[in-house]
Structure 1
Amino acid sequence: MIAALNHLTELVEDREVDIAAAARKLGTTEYHLRRMFSSLAGMSLSEYVRRRRMTVAAADVVRGEDDLLTIAVRHGYGSSEAFGRAFKAVHGVSPGDVRRDGGPLRAQPQLRFRLTVEGGRPMDTRIADRPAFRLTGHAVRVPLLHAGINPHIQRHVAALPAEEHARLKALGNTDPAGLLAVTDEVRPDAAEGTELTYLHGVAVTQTTIIPPGLDTIEVPAGQWAVFRSSGAYPESLQSTWAATATDWFPSNPWRLRPGPSMVAFVERAADFSTAVTELWLPIER
C-alpha cells in the first residue's frame, strides 16, 4: 500500500491523472486508495491534487513569460477567472497580485509515504464473516471531526430519552451486539468538516420487524475487520482507527470496501471517560 501511494503521488505530477485507472493498475480500488491517502496524508486526494497544481502554476505566474489565460489553460482551467479562484483558494492571493509582488505563496511539496517500524502495540484484531443484516436507530447528518468528542453527535445522542436507549438495546438481535455508533455515507477522501450520516442504533437480522419512526441502513453480506481497544474515550478509539491506516492495512492482504463503520461498546465507565470498544470496518481481500 505504501508503494502504491508513492506511485500515486508520482502520477499526480502529470496533469491528467486518472485515479480510477491508477487504482486498477495498482491492484486495488479507487475507494480504498482515496481512504488510505486521506487517512495518512491528513488531506483528501482531491485537495492534494489541487494544491500541487497550484504550486506548479505559481512558478509559471512568477516567471511571467506567458499571460494568465495561457497558464490557466495549461493547468486544466477553461478561463482565467476559474484559474484565479482556484489559485486564490490555495495561496490566499490572486495570480495578478503574485505576478506584481512575487508572493506570498503557499507551496505544497510532493508527498512521500514511508512505513516507520516502531515498538508499537499489537492490534487486537479478528476477521468476522457476516451475512446481510440491518442497522436501525436514529440517524442525523453531522460534520466529520478527526479528533476529540464530536459535539454534534453528543447532542444527538443526549437528546434521546433514556427509555429510547433501552428500547433500541432490546431490539438488537445480531452481531455486533449492543448499542452502536455508526458512520455511513463517508466520501472516500472526505476532508474534516465534510458531512456524514451518524446513526445511534443496533444491528438486527433482515427478518426483524422495524418499529415505526426508526431509520434503517441495509448492510450486505461481507467480511469485517474488528479492532478492539480500551482506555480513555474517545482517544483510545481514535488512535486505533488511525492505526488501521498506518499499521494494519499496509501489512495485511485486505482493503476497505464501501459500507458503514460501526463502533460497539463492550464496556464503559459511568461517565464515559473510559471504554472498551470494537471498531468494525468493512473489508475485502
Structure 2
Amino acid sequence: MNLIGNPAGKALWFIESHFHEELSLDDIASCGCVSRFHLSRAFEAATGFAVMRYVRARRLTEAARRLARGAPDILAVAVDAGYGSHEAFTRAFREQFGLTPEALRAQGHLDNLALMEPIKMDESLLAHLEPPRFVDGKPLLVAGSSERYHCESSSGIPAQWQRFNAIFGKIPGQVGRVAYGVCYNADDSGNFDYLCGVEVADFSGLPDELSRVRIGTQRYAVFTHSEHISTIRRTWNTIWNKWLPESGHAPADAPNFERYSEQFNPVTGMGGVEIWLPLRN
C-alpha cells in the first residue's frame, strides 16, 4: 500500500513512532495533512478503532510488558504511559485489562491479557473504485430506528436492519421505497449514531419510538457499491484512505449515508447501493 496518500497508514506510522511522547488527535492528523474529522473517519474505516483509543491501548500494552517483567516503580511506568497519577493509571489499566498494575506485576506474565499489538494496515482497498458523480443534495427528512455504536462494536448493524425491515413501508408519511443508513453524531472517540430509515414528508405524526434526522442542503460525492453488502466497509475504506486524499476535496462534518434503492435485494445482499459522502463547498 502506498502510504503517501493514505491518512490511516500515515497515522499508524506516526503513532508507532511517537506514542511514548505526548500526542493529541491534532498532532496525528497534522502528520497526514488532513483534518481531525477526516483522520477519525479514515482511521476507523481502515482499522475498526478510534484513533486515541488505539493510542491509549498501545501505551497500556507497553506498560503491561514492563510490569510483567517486574518494573519496580509503578508510578514511573504510569508517567511514561501518559498518566499523571497512580490512581488514573490504575483506573485505565483495569478498564483495559481487567486487573490492576500491581496484580499483573505479581503474576509476572501476560498470558491472560488481550494486548493491543501494532496494527498492520489492511491492504484490501478496492483495486478499482468507480469515479463518483457529484450531486447537490436537497434537504432530506429521515425517520426510522437509531442505535449508538462504537467503531469497534458496530457488528450489530445488520441485526438493526433486520428489525427495521419489520416496519419498512409502515412509517407515517413515508416517501418512496428507498432506505437510508445514516451515520451521524460521530465523535473523536469513535462513537456514532446509525439510523436505518426512510424519507418522510414531515416529522409530525411519527410515533415517539422512531428517531429523526434532518439533513440539510449538501454537496455530495456519490459512489456505487457494486460488491456484496458485507464488504461495504472495504468501499468506505477506499473512499476515505485513497480517493479522498487524491481528489483534492475535503469532507464536510455532516451526516453521510448509504442509499438502498428498490434494486437492492435484502436476501442476496446485492444491487442498488450508493454511498453519499458530504463535501465541503
- The TM-score with structure 2 as length reference comes to 0.75
1:191-250 CA-to-partner distances (Å, cap 9, x unmatched) read xxx5514141228xxxxx725134553334443221112354x32544433432454335
| Distance in 2, Cα, partners of 1:149 & 1:75 | 34
* 2:251–2:277 Cα contact (<8 Å) kept: yes
Name the structure 2 match of 1:213.
205
Q: Which amino acid aligns with 1:198?
A: L
Task: Indicate the residue corresponding to 2:220 in structure 1.
Answer: 224
Superposition deviation, residue 108 in structure 1? 3.2
Aligned-residue offset at 1:34: 1.5
- Secondary structure of the residue that 2:55 maps to in structure 1? helix
Percent of pairs identical after alignment?
Answer: 22
Q: Partner of 2:116: helix, strand, or coil?
A: coil
Contact 1:157 1:200 (8 Å CA) reproduced: no
How do 1:234-245 and structure 2 match up within 5 A?
A: 234-245=229-240
Q: Distance in 2 between matches of 1:42 and 1:181?
A: 18
More displaced 10-residue stretch of structure 1: 251-260 or 36-45: 251-260
Question: In 1, are the aligned partners of 2:42 and 2:237 still within 8 Å (CA)?
Answer: no
Distance 1:42 1:212 in 2: 37
Q: Is contact 2:25–2:51 with CA below 8 Å preserved after alignment?
A: no
User: Match of 2:171?
Assistant: 164
Does 1:196 find its partner at 2:196?
no
State whether residues 153 and 198 of structure 1, in contact with CA within 8 Å, keep that contact through their aligned partners in structure 2.
Answer: no
- C-alpha change, 1:189 and 1:275, in structure 2 (3 Å) is farther
Letter in 2 for 1:235: S
Q: In structure 2, how many angstroms separate the alpha carbons of the residues matched to 1:18 and 1:107?
A: 22
* 1:75 Cα offset (Å): 2.8
Aligned to 1:173: none
Contact 1:237-1:277 at 8 Å conserved across structures: no
1:58 aligns with 2:64: yes
Alignment-derived partner of residue 69 in structure 1: 75
Q: Does the aligned pair in 1 maintain the 2:141–2:213 contact within 8 Å?
A: yes
TM-score for the superposition, normalised by structure 1: 0.74
1:97 aligns with 103
Of residues 14, 36, 39, the one that matches 1:30 is 36
Q: Which runs of 5+ in 1 are unaligned?
A: 171-176, 204-208
Aligned length: 266
Whether the 8 Å contact between 2:59 and 2:81 is mirrored in structure 1 is: yes
The residue aligned with 1:186 is 186
- Is the radius of gyration larger for structure 1 or structure 2? 1
Q: Which residue of 2 aligns with 1:262?
A: 257
Partner residue of 1:130 out of 133, 136, 156:
136
1:15 and 1:260 map into 2 onto residues whose CA distance is: 34
> What does residue range 79-158 of structure 1 map to in structure 2 within 5 Å?
79-104=85-110, 105-111=113-119, 113=121, 120-130=126-136, 133-143=139-149, 146=154, 150-158=158-166
Letter in 2 for 1:159: I
Whole-angstrom CA distance in 2 between matches of 1:201 and 1:31: 26
